């Protein structure tokens, strides 16, 4: 029995948990997409859009996203530090506590307990739980890195450190609430200050849950799975420091044309546009890494997940900053364009890289190969098509919505009533549900493939054990 | 089952490890310069622009 066996089981536990919460989150996402065009799918009070949407976002960001980040970070940190985790038992406890917290989170949101700040919906007792969870994680990650047996710190470790530190600061500051009973509380900041802190947090949740940790995985698993070394160490380091520096200033771009002082909006927009550079640093680095041998796109089934993933990251980080510009924001803000944007990031970039990392890890843990590359390829094309349908239909309908809202008669009155602009969305909302179904079927292929690989791996190790006896 | 520990040296290309593509450098510095312009142009205390004034102008016609 080698030293890593126990830690690998913890990693696998996190991966399976995150897949479970992913299924819950995706199915709820499908359900609420139907609610948009079929109101009878709202079943009051628990299964209404208002309650289910937060279960969808929290379930996928914190259940699937953070769950995968915990497991995959443990995996990467051990290997780059060349040692097992410093506190293996603590990591196992962390796994159980994580699932307990997500379960309670989902139940409390269904029950309607909500701090009413986006991505910070969980009420204060759960916030305390989340902080404890994160401290446990930080202690293990930092401890393992400090006691590492490899002097040089590869770029992925820097992204891991930035993630652990930033999420802690963001989460604690924005969740400073004054309790008014066990299930109700009020934000410490009021009015426009509350909005500013909330979006500083909200946007950086995107930065430090959907960006830096995924880049840590990208920089680690791309060379591991292709055998091609990262093109430029310097480019990766400059991209890292400039992205972590710039990201924390950008939150106010969510508050363009609000009572927030103009200069704060302007500073946020400046840093937001600057973010294109460090984001594209990683995009360029990824492309140049595979450039010496593009045939890997055909011969190595994981390469296309990473390259399409980083391509959508590149598109996302062009589209996102552009949205921050006042002239663009006034057309598309508050329209369906925004979920189109978000889902290109989550379905096109985050999911692509996370599933590819899982495809890499699970067979490695069992010292075997993936159950079926063919199924993995099917999975790839289905999630790609599903995501494209979702994003593109929402961009079209978003622009249409914005244009209709802004259309005025010569006397200055609005040309269209709100309901007139709403009914024009229905076709696109049907198509979005279709895109969602295709994506979901793709993910089912993935789950089947992973579980068959685990089954195969278990059978193999049983045979090996018999052989030793 | 042997654990494959990482050899960091194999992660990064040697010959190109210190390269920064020219196009990317132009993007990097260009965005900083653009940012300075935008900050000056859209900060009320410097240029006099404000979203309230911009709105008033947009409905004048």
Please check whether residues A302 and A173 belong to one and the same domain. Answer: no
3-state SS assignment for residue A42 = coil
- Contact status, residue A450 vs residue A19, Cβ threshold 8 Å: yes
- A4 at B interface, C-beta within 8 A: yes
**A181 and A265 share a domain?**
no
In a domain, residue A225? The reply is: no
pLDDT single digits (tens) A349-405 = 999 999 999 999 999 999 999 999 999 999 999 999 999 999 999 999 999 999 999
- Residue A403 domain-assigned? yes
Inter-chain CB proximity B45 and A230 less than 8 Å: no
Q: Do the domain assignments include residue A235?
A: no
Report domain extents, chain B. 22-61
Residue ranges of A 136-155 with Cβ closer than 8 A to chain B: 150, 152, 154
Contact B27 A269 (CB under 8 A): no
Domain containing residue A72: 1-188
Overall average pLDDT of the A58-75 stretch: 97
Q: Is residue A449, in this structure, part of any structural domain at all? A: yes
**Nearest Cβ partner for A276 among B11, B31, B39:** B31
Does one domain contain both A139 and A10? yes
Chain A closest-CA separation from residue B27 CA (Å):
6
Condensed to tens digits (0 to 9), the pLDDT of residues A315-346 reads 999 999 999 999 999 999 999 999 999 999 99
Among partner residues B8, B27, B50, which is closest to A150 by beta-carbon distance? B8
Pairwise CA distance, residues A101 & A109, whole Å: 12
Q: Which residues of B touch A232 (CB under 8 A)?
A: 13, 16-20
| Tokens (6 digits) for B10 | 């194999």
- State the DSSP string of B48-60: ---HHHHHHHHTT
Interface residues of chain B, partner chain A, Cβ below 8 Å: 1-6, 8, 10-14, 16-21, 23-24, 27-28, 31-32, 34-35, 38-39, 42-45, 49-51, 59
What are the tens digits of pLDDT across the range A106-124? 999 999 999 999 999 999 9
How far is the CA of A290 from the CAs of A5, A87, A160, A313, A414, in angstroms?
A: 32, 36, 23, 16, 52
Give the span between the Cα atoms of A238 and A241, in whole angstroms.
5
In contact, A228 and A296? CB cutoff 8 Å: yes
Give the pLDDT mean for B31-51. Answer: 97
Q: Which residues of A touch B45 (CB under 8 A)?
A: 263
**Residue A412 is nearest to which of B34, B38, B59, comparing CB atoms?**
B59
A390: left (phi over 0), alpha (psi -120 to 50) or beta: alpha
Considering CB atoms only, which of B17, B32, B35 is closest to A233? B17
Chain A residue with Cα closest to B17? A232
Domain boundary residue among A188, A218, A238? Answer: A188
Contact A80 B39 (CB under 8 A): no
Tell me the average pLDDT across A176-186: 96
Find, among A282, A279, A277, A269, the residue nearest to A321 by Cα: A269
> What stretches of A82-149 show up as alpha helix (H) in DSSP?
88-110, 124-146
Whether residue A216 is contained in a domain is answered as no
Distances (CA, A) of A322 to A272, A315, A341, B37: 8, 11, 11, 16
Residue A210's pLDDT is: 97
Q: Does a structural domain hold residue A12?
A: yes
On whether both A172 and A279 belong to a single domain, the answer is no
Least confident of A6-10, A166-170, B4-8, B39-43: B4-8
CB of A461 less than 8 A from some CB of B: yes
Strand-pairing partners, residue A230, are: B12
| Residues of B with Cβ-Cβ distance to A276 under 8 angstroms | 27, 31
Give the CATH number, domain containing residue A315.
1.20.210.10
Q: Is the same domain home to A380 and A268? A: yes
- Subunit contact B19:A234, Cβ cutoff 8 A: yes
Asked if A238 reaches chain B (Cβ–Cβ under 8 Å), the answer is: yes
pLDDT, one tens digit per residue, over A418-432 is 999 999 999 999 999
Contact A343, A337 (CB under 8 A): no
Mean pLDDT, chain A, whole residue set = 96
Q: Are residues A293 and A173 in the same domain?
A: no
**Is A180 a residue whose pLDDT tops 70?**
yes
- CA nearest to A162, candidates A81, A248, A282: A248
Number of domains chain A is built from = 2
| Token pair in block for residue A439 | 């994506």
Verify that A322 and A465 share a domain, yes or no: yes
**Is A3 at the interface with chain B, CB within 8 A?**
yes
Contacts of A54 (CB under 8 A, 6+ apart): A109, A114, A121
User: Averaged over A74-93, what is the pLDDT?
Assistant: 96
Closest CA to B19 of A243, A289, A233: A233
The separation between CA A325 and the C-alpha centre of its own chain, rounded to angstroms, equals 24
Looking at the structure, tell me whether residues A338 and A419 fall in a common domain: yes
| A154/A273 same-domain check | no
pLDDT tens digits for A194-224?
999 999 999 999 999 999 999 999 999 999 9
A224, part of any domain: no
Residue A220 in any domain: the answer is: no
């Amino acid at each position: 029995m080698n030293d890593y066996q126990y830690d690998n089981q913890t990693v696998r536990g996190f991966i399976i948990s995150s897949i479970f919460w992913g299924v819950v989150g995706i199915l709820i996402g499908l359900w609420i997409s139907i609610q948009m065009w079929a109101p009878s799918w709202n079943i009051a009070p628990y299964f209404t859009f208002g309650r289910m949407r937060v279960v969808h976002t929290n379930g996928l960001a914190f259940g699937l996203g953070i769950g995968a980040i915990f497991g995959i970070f443990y995996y990467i940190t051990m290997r780059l530090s060349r040692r097992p985790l410093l506190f293996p038992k603590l990591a196992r406890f962390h796994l159980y506590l994580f699932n307990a917290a997500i379960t309670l989170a989902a139940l409390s949101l269904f029950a309607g307990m909500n701090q009413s700040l986006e991505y910070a919906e969980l009420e204060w007792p759960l916030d305390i739980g989340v902080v404890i969870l994160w401290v446990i994680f930080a202690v293990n990650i930092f401890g393992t890195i400090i006691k590492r047996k490899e002097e040089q710190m590869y770029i992925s470790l820097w992204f891991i450190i930035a993630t652990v530190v930033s999420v802690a600061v963001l989460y604690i500051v924005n969740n400073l609430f004054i309790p008014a009973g066990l299930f109700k509380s009020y934000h410490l900041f009021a009015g426009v200050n509350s909005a500013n802190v909330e979006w500083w947090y909200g946007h950086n949740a995107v930065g430090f849950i959907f960006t830096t940790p995924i880049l840590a995985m990208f920089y680690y698993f791309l060379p591991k799975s292709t055998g091609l070394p990262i093109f430029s160490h310097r480019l990766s380091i400059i991209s890292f420091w400039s992205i972590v520096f710039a990201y924390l200033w950008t939150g106010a771009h969510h508050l363009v044309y609000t009572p927030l002082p103009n200069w704060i909006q302007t500073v946020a927009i400046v840093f937001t546009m600057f973010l294109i550079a460090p984001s594209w640093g990683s995009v360029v680095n990824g492309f140049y890494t595979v450039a010496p041998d593009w045939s890997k796109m055909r011969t190595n089934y994981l390469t296309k997940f990473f390259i399409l993933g980083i391509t959508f990251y590149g598109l996302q980080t062009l589209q996102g900053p552009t949205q921050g510009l006042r002239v663009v924001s006034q057309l598309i803000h508050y329209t369906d364009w925004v979920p189109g944007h978000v889902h290109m990031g989550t379905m096109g970039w985050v999911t692509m890289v996370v599933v590819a990392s899982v495809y890499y890890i699970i067979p490695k843990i069992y010292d075997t190969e993936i159950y079926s590359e063919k199924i993995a390829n099917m999975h790839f094309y289905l999630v790609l098509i599903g995501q494209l349908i979702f994003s593109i239909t929402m961009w079209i309908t978003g622009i249409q919505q914005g244009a209709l809202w802004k259309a005025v008669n010569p006397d200055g009155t609005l040309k269209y009533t709100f309901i007139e602009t709403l009914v024009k969305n229905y076709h696109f909302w049907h198509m979005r549900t279709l895109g969602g179904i295709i994506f979901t079927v793709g993910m089912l292929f993935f789950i089947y493939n992973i579980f068959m690989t685990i089954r195969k791996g278990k059978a193999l190790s049983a045979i090996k054990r018999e052989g030793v006896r | 089952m042997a654990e494959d520990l990482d050899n960091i040296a194999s992660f990064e290309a040697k010959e190109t490890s210190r390269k920064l593509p020219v196009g990317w450098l132009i993007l990097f510095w260009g965005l900083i310069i653009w940012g300075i312009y935008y900050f000056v142009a859209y900060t009320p205390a410097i240029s006099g622009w404000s979203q309230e004034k911009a709105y008033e102008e947009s409905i004048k016609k």
